[in-house]
Amino acid sequence: MARVAIIGVGAIGGVIASLLEQIGRHEVFLCVRRPLAGLTVEKPEGGTVSVRAAVVTDPAAAPTVDWIMVATKAYDVPGAAKWLGMLRAQGAPVAVLQNGVEHRERFAPYVPMESILPVVVDCPVERQAPNRVRQRGVMHLKAPESALGRAFVELFAGTPTDAVEVPDFLSAAWTKLCNNAAGVLPTLLLQPAGVFRDEAIGDVARQIVRECIAVGRAEGARLGDELAETVLQAYRAAPSDSLNSMHADRLAGRPLELDARNGVIVRLGQKHGIPTPSNRMAVALLTAMVQKMS
């Protein structure tokens, strides 16, 4: 049994909490800004899970735990870091379950590098209300092969999730970023995943992903040319009414993970001298749209 703290109980954090609740062998703490009156997760196999974990709203009153899972948005690292002092009183490792490819870099100012475990998360899930999450499919978790990665995977033994160690974590992270990068289009257009079935939009999505592939390769990732088409077909196979997390955030008026999902492609493209015009345009347009509405 482990004492596990989850910082950020949105869509991903909610599913993580429900998985640990289902096996019932861990003590789970939900670290949130405001009181949470229960948490219900609709499962893809049918039925719901009611999470009965302890809710903590004050970082100064947080318990000491064995594991910390950060499931906040990538831009909210300073907010998440406020919880780490008490939670890490005995040096607990920090699993970073965020989008992008800069997991360790974001938390390096707050946690020793050897205690940071980057995790790639892939799960079709939507937060329908502050205390209700709809999980549409299996959660896939990928951690780098290491002692920490092995211990992280063991936390989920017996759960209906696919938690594994991978030998080439860099490529796994960039593959996920390729998927996330294309999600800027429905966010821009304020249309769900069905918009990818339009041929012109599909062509733009391919180009966004091709730029991500080129930059990822320059960073050392192994990414095949076919990945652009694979990403597009995955979006086209998704329920036409499904929303990616950045699209949902824009609809709700929340800040966007634009830098972690597309801005990083532009930034690292500049570093390597690789043109990224499609991602650059998407970032500029969405930034201007959000600023106009604020």
- Residues 50-97 pLDDT 10s: 999 999 999 999 999 999 999 999 999 999 999 999 999 999 999 999
Q: 160 exposed, middle or buried (CB, 10 Å; 0-12, 13-18, 19+)?
A: middle
* Sequence ranges of the domains in the chain: 3-167, 170-293
163 in Cβ contact with 156 (< 8 Å)? yes
Distance (Å, rounded) from C-alpha 119 to C-alpha 254? 24
Q: Which CATH class is domain 170-293?
A: mainly alpha
pTM for the whole structure: 0.93
Q: What is the pLDDT of residue 128?
A: 87
Domain 3-167 carries which CATH code?
Answer: 3.40.50.720
Residue 200 burial by CB count (10 A; 0-12/13-18/19+): exposed, middle or buried?
A: exposed
Mean pLDDT for the stretch of residues 156-172: 96
Average pLDDT over residues 102-112: 97
| Angle, vertex CA 258, rays to CA 115 and CA 211, nearest 5 | 95
| 3-state secondary structure (DSSP) of residue 143 | strand
Tokens of 46: 């049918």
* 98 closest CA partner among 33, 177, 3: 177
Catalytic residue among 73, 176, 271, 292: 176
292 is catalytic: no
Q: What integer pLDDT is reported at residue 293 of this predicted model?
A: 62
Identify the band that residue 129 occupies on the pLDDT scale cut at 50, 70 and 90.
confident
